[in-house]
Amino acid sequence: MLKPILTLAVLVTVAACSSTITRLNMPNVVPTASVRSDVGSVMIRTVTLPTYAATEEISIETAPGVITTDGDLLAADDPVRGVTLALTQGVSEILDSTVGPDPWPFAGLPDVAVDVQVSEMLGSVVTDTFRLAGQYYVGGDGIDYPDRTYSFDFTVPMPTADIPGAVAAQGVAVAQLAEEIARSLGR
């Protein structure tokens, strides 16, 4: 009889000592633009992020050039997956085309593929801004569509100078990138 009570006491003590994990979800910012497309279908390849942005611990710049995490706030989704799907959804809402992520979920091949390489995706308590910068590449295979390279650099004010403010601004910056990609594919 004493052994089950001791086991229960140990389990209660372990449960009381464990910490709560808080996860922050990047908000879905719905684009307002509408663009007629030059292509019928678009694949958004899996987005490449810098190491500090690709982990579930959310990073923030606390001093010029110093990137830290507090370990208490984690991303609600895998950052690579989350950004890829947010871009896919944003471009899909703006264009009058079929848009899907990599791997391509539809039969056949897409008319064009968009490959996004992010060089910076970081909020800063130094400047109270969030920056999303890098390049994206648009290419078609089997259709008469020119391969193109575009640079992007968005700076968005953070509503608060902390990690939740950076995550909120990230949603806005990703929506701005979706609109730029859609416009590059439009008429």
Residue-wise pLDDT for 148-175, tens only, equals 999 999 999 999 999 999 999 999 999 9
Q: Tell me, what's the pLDDT at 13?
A: 47
Phi and psi at residue 172, in whole multiples of 5°?
-65, -45
Whether 16 is covered by a domain: the verdict is: no
Whether 32 is covered by a domain: the verdict is: no
At 119-142, the pLDDT tens digits run: 999 999 999 999 999 999 999 776
Radius of gyration of the chain (CA): 21
Is cis: bond before 103, omega within 30 of 0? yes
Task: Using pLDDT thresholds of 50, 70 and 90, give the confidence band for residue 19.
Answer: low
Whether 80 is covered by a domain: the verdict is: yes
Q: Tell me, what's the pLDDT at 11?
A: 40
Write the CATH number for 162. Answer: 3.40.50.10610
Whether 21 is covered by a domain: the verdict is: no
Whether 29 is covered by a domain: the verdict is: no
* Residue 85 exposed, middle or buried by CB count within 10 Å (0-12, 13-18, 19+): middle
Whether 2 is covered by a domain: the verdict is: no
Contacts (Cβ under 8 Å, ≥6 apart) of 29:
90, 171, 172, 174, 175
At 23-43, the pLDDT tens digits run: 888 888 888 888 898 899 999
Q: Tell me, what's the pLDDT at 29?
A: 87
Whether 19 is covered by a domain: the verdict is: no
pLDDT greater than 70 at residue 109: yes
Q: Tell me, what's the pLDDT at 4?
A: 44
Q: Tell me, what's the pLDDT at 33?
A: 87
The residue written with tokens 């650099």 in the block is 153
For the chain, percent of residues with pLDDT exceeding 90:
72
Whether 8 is covered by a domain: the verdict is: no
For the chain, percent of residues with pLDDT exceeding 70:
89
Q: Determine the structural domain holding residue 62 and report its residue range.
A: 37-184
Domain count, the chain: 1
Using alpha carbons only, give the angle 164, 117, 103 rounded to the nearest 5 degrees.
Answer: 95
pTM: 0.87
- Among 14-18, 59-63, 126-130, whose mean pLDDT is lowest? 14-18
Mean pLDDT of the region 50-75: 93
Q: What's the one-letter identity of residue 84? A: T
Q: Tell me, what's the pLDDT at 25?
A: 86
Question: Is the CB of residue 23 less than 8 Å from the CB of residue 76?
Answer: yes
